Chains A and B, each alone.
Chain A
Amino acid sequence: MRNFWRDIKGTLQPFWITLGYLFKKPVTIQYPEEKRTPPPRYRARLVLTRDPNGGERCVACQLCSAACPVDCISMQAAEDEDGRRYAAWFRINFSRCIFCGLCTEACPTLAIQTTADYEICNREVLNLVYEKQDLLIESGGKDTEYNFYKHSGIGVAQVRGEGEEEHGPVDPKSLMP
């Protein structure tokens, strides 16, 4: 007899809950007609950003490629006329990328950053191989102020010693009596 009442309850309760949800707003989004705005730190497509002067931040140091657990980043370093190190080519294979964001943590120049652009599906796998021109954006991304060359103390972007947290260069002769 106890089982009888339990079964009645178990039959009616789900209907009751379903009835309750009938009057609530649905959580389903009608993608692609409707799109959700992801949170700012959402990890989706990677981009290469620029420093405040408009120069490429990436110095092709290979750290992102070393940090990548699926080996989807590759590049070749080259030297610019002013001595600046840059990526001659830079390639991310998004068909392999697992969007873990380890590359952005490894990046010493804040060049590679995740964005909220998650819409990169494609029927052709090779179309998911992004080259440098596809990755580079015209902004500083999450930190528009940071400039690696201003912190490194090397005289590429500014005269040596004029960077942030730097003192001017020494003239040894000035110390002579």
Chain B
Amino acid sequence: MVNLTIDGTQVTVSKTATIYEAAKEIGIKIPVLCYAKKLMPYGACRFCLVQVEQMKGRLIPACTTPVSEGMVVTTTSEEIEKVRKTVMEFLLVNHVLDCPVCDKGGECDLQDLAYEFGSTSNRFEGEKFDLPTDEVNPLIERNMNRCVLCGRCVRVCDEVVGYGSYSFINRGFETKIATAYDRGLSCEFCGQCVSLCPVGAILPRPFKFKARPWQIKEVDSVCGYCGNGCTVTLGVKDNKVETIRFNDEIGVNDGNLCIRGRFGYSYVNHEDRLTKPLVRKDGQLVEVEWDEALQVAADGLAKAQQGQGAGILSGARLTNEELFMLKQVAKTLGTENLDNSGGECYKGVTEGLKETLGVAASTGTFPQIEHADVILAIRSDFYETHPVVGMVVNQAIRRNEAQLLVVADKKGKLDKLPREKTLLSQPGLELDVINAMCKVLLDEGLAKTDGVDGVEELQAALADFGLAEVAKRTGVDAAALQTAAKQLAGAGNAAILLAYGLPYQGLSTELATAAANLAMLTGIAGREGSGLYLCGEKANSQGAIDLGILPQGNGLGARAMLAAAAEGKLDALYVVAEDPLSSYPDRDSIAKSLENVPFLVVQDLFLSPTAEQADVVLPAASFAEKDGTFTNAERRIQRVRHGIKSPGEARSDGAILTSLAGKLGSSLAFTGSAAIFAEIGKEVPAYAAFNYNEIGPQGVVWGGETLQPASRKLVAVAGGVAADGDFKLVTGSALYHSGTISTRAKGPTAVLSEAYLELCREDAADLKVADGDLVKVSGNGTELKLKAKVGNRLPKGVVFTPYHFAEAQVNRLYKGEAVIPVKLSK
């Protein structure tokens, strides 16, 4: 700690703090433009100049000067004011005076400072710039005439996002921010630059001219897309979510968001939202009153339960409280057939981790990743499914020189980061690579086997996973594999990242088990600062597991329920917040299930393809319309708050489930989310420690920052099977989308509106396919036509398609396997 005096006040701060941060601590505001909390100090704007007693004769920038013992700092004096005013005059030489037509007006740092300094005239004259605005892309507008060259966009894109879209070009007065070759912006569209621009040079296009900042009501909530659980601040005006506000002051993600979080909110306001309950009468879905719809649903479900039974299938975008109510409905109904999204994909957590580590959750928290020395990402898709954790990985690399290892069948965003080593394996054989890493550790005596069961058994089971054999099978370089294993074992802090979700059903349990083995042998599991992260695809995937929205007793899981329905052995299916027809593997069999099930109730935001088949459709509320809690992939329980009212008569899932439970004869009634949360604590001991009303902006993490494994048992898993066939198709998540709901949001669909088939240049040349051509993909007994997207991400012989788009029917090809052998033709 260092003691210094700022404006006569004594302050003690850590020795890594800057003068600016020290002043902020005691509430002294030094004007800044280029400083941002989450970026490295830069010193571009020169507004923060202060006087330091020990450095007489010149002014010192506060944001880049570290504090030292005994420093005496003056933050305001006549001289400093004069210099700051002059800096302002310099900035305003070229700056256009278009505040009335600029959307930043009202929250512009430059405007605020000009007002504070009372800058009304300028002693200097200069030329105005005539730079065209960049409106090529649909989401981000860049008007470089308003730029003050603070470099925040350049730095955030590099330091946090790791994309590097922007750079300064030209010199002197002509300096400007530009993309490569000064072309239109074409990037991930995460909008981080938008959030950090202090002026109106970079603005969100969907929000253009919509409202002024003071007219907007801000509601802090949690993003409804992936398991990352980023804090989002809804900008609400006239009962409509108009934008996502930029907020790095509170929350867990430092204000970092991806394209889905920042621009994917608009499905909430979509005109196709269901507004009234629908009941099928004479083959047609007709609008009815709530009471009637609920009665029909309750009667149908109760009748089915008397017969062959009813099944409940839920999505993982319900809040914990709603999931609890769902469980009550299942109990009241008397069915054990209960499951949440995917069915197979989350088994990595409920079976893989449970068997090995005895816990069913990630063992670390996301902020710990930033301080990891070595990070292993299994599948490069981790960035695509959880972009904001990907940004944390990037910060770990750039700030703390972490080593990133990627075991994947294709390249991706993570492979573009510095200090990164990709072990590129044949698709479906990542498992072998992880097994081989375990074997390296065991063979070389690097494994930490204290208190770990099953070492001998694992050693015996891994006999086939010698370096040379695995290298031959998977195509991974043996030396690189060995080095990677050693790096992971030798790291002080390390993280293993693995995402699960609907498109990653194949080998999900096996991969998680192998990862858990590796985590135990390297000592990552349970070590402070290290962690094994199994991250769910949906906002509340972890909550659904915590609350036990899983098959009860001898009940059927998602797949078994659908299979039983297809065979006519299930009399009713109640699908909540899920669209199996569009997103579950094996569409044809699901279509059969939905056709054969005598009674189908669907509760959703939209009339999805599944809902179109239903006998009763109940209109539900989106994440922006309800209160409750989500538990994210790092076990953090956070408050979801409603910003707007539901359209029409749509009700929150919690309200619907409560009424339905009542119709079914349950006497349970709660006064609100807080009461239900207290009730959850009785069933889920981990949640009992928290009070709903005391969950702050940072949320609360159950099980502590580092979750201690309940057991340490190595479980051997067999290797993957290499797929034959000319081309190997893998499905997955595209960066711009999450699940199927984002295909209804304007932002993500503006960037990516339809499914594609990604293939490498060599394959494209062999097939004589150009970007955008239709390619016939045949495999698994079906044939699809998809638009080709030629790139250099995939190795030869591997093709990729995202699963989000219902119209493309990719899930007719994809039946839950890790790799699908396909044939391609033009």
Contacts and interface: CB of A to CB of B under 8 A. Distances in A.
A109 B211 CA distance: 18
B765 interface: no
Interface residues of A, number: 29
B327 to A, nearest CB: 45
A152 interface: yes
B46 to A, nearest CB: 22
B330 to A, nearest CB: 47
B129 A60 contact: no
A41 interface: no
A154 B105 CA distance: 15
B100 A166 contact: no
Given A62-B215, A66-B214, A79-B208, A161 B97 contact: no
A108 B106 CA distance: 13
Contact of B128 (A59, A60, A167, A172): A167
A170 interface: yes
Given A160-B128, A170-B173, A154 B212 contact: no
Interface in A3-42: none
A167 B94 CA distance: 10
A77 interface: yes
A155 B130 CA distance: 8
B145 interface: yes
Interface in B63-100: 96-100
A148 to B, nearest CB: 7
Contacts of A161: 127-128, 130
Given A152-B98, A154-B98, A166 B128 contact: yes
A61 interface: yes
A121 B565 CA distance: 71
Contacts of B214: 66
A170 B170 CA distance: 13
A132 to B, nearest CB: 16
> Which of B98, B208, B212 neighbours the largest number of chain A CB atoms within 10 Å of its CB?
B98
A142 interface: no
A85 B211 CA distance: 13
A170 B127 contact: yes
A154 B96 contact: yes
> Which of B97, B100, B127, B212 neighbours the largest number of chain A CB atoms within 10 Å of its CB?
B100
B181 interface: no
A171 B239 CA distance: 47
A76 to B, nearest CB: 8
A167 B127 contact: yes
A148 B97 CA distance: 9
A62 B212 contact: yes
B210 interface: yes
Contacts of B97: 151-153
Nearest to B132: A155
Contacts of A79: 208-209
Contacts of B100: 59, 61, 63, 85, 108-109, 148, 152
A151 B96 CA distance: 9
Contacts of A84: 101
A59 B129 CA distance: 22
Contacts, number: 71
Contacts of B215: 62
A167 B127 CA distance: 5
Contact of A172 (B126, B170, B208): B170
Interface in A68-83: 77-79
A170 B174 contact: yes
Interface string B536-576: 00000000000000000000000000000000000000000
Given A59-B100, A59-B101, A151-B97, A77 B209 contact: yes
B101 A61 contact: yes
Interface in A135-177: 148, 151-155, 159-161, 166-170, 172, 175
A161 B100 CA distance: 19
B125 interface: yes
B127 A152 contact: no
A77 B98 CA distance: 15
B127 A153 contact: no
Interface in A88-107: none
A175 B173 CA distance: 11
A166 B95 CA distance: 11
Interface string A36-62: 000000000000000000000001111
Contacts of A77: 209-210
A169 B128 CA distance: 5
Contacts of A61: 99-101, 105, 212
B129 A169 contact: yes
A160 B130 contact: yes
A169 B101 contact: no
B544 to A, nearest CB: 41
Nearest to B173: A170
Given A62-B212, A66-B212, A79-B209, A168 B127 contact: yes
A151 B211 CA distance: 24
Nearest to A79: B209
Nearest to A175: B174
Contacts of A108: 99-100
26 contacts: A59-B101, A61-B105, A62-B212, A62-B215, A63-B100, A77-B209, A77-B210, A78-B209, A79-B209, A84-B101, A108-B100, A151-B97, A152-B96, A153-B128, A154-B96, A160-B129, A161-B127, A166-B128, A167-B127, A168-B127, A168-B128, A169-B127, A169-B128, A169-B129, A169-B130, A172-B174
Given A62-B211, A161-B128, 19 more contacts: A59-B101, A63-B100, A66-B214, A77-B210, A84-B101, A85-B100, A109-B100, A151-B97, A153-B128, A159-B130, A160-B128, A161-B127, A166-B128, A167-B127, A168-B127, A169-B127, A170-B127, A172-B170, A172-B174
| Top 9 closest pairs, chain A to chain B, by CB | A169-B130, A77-B209, A61-B100, A172-B174, A153-B96, A160-B130, A85-B101, A152-B98, A62-B212
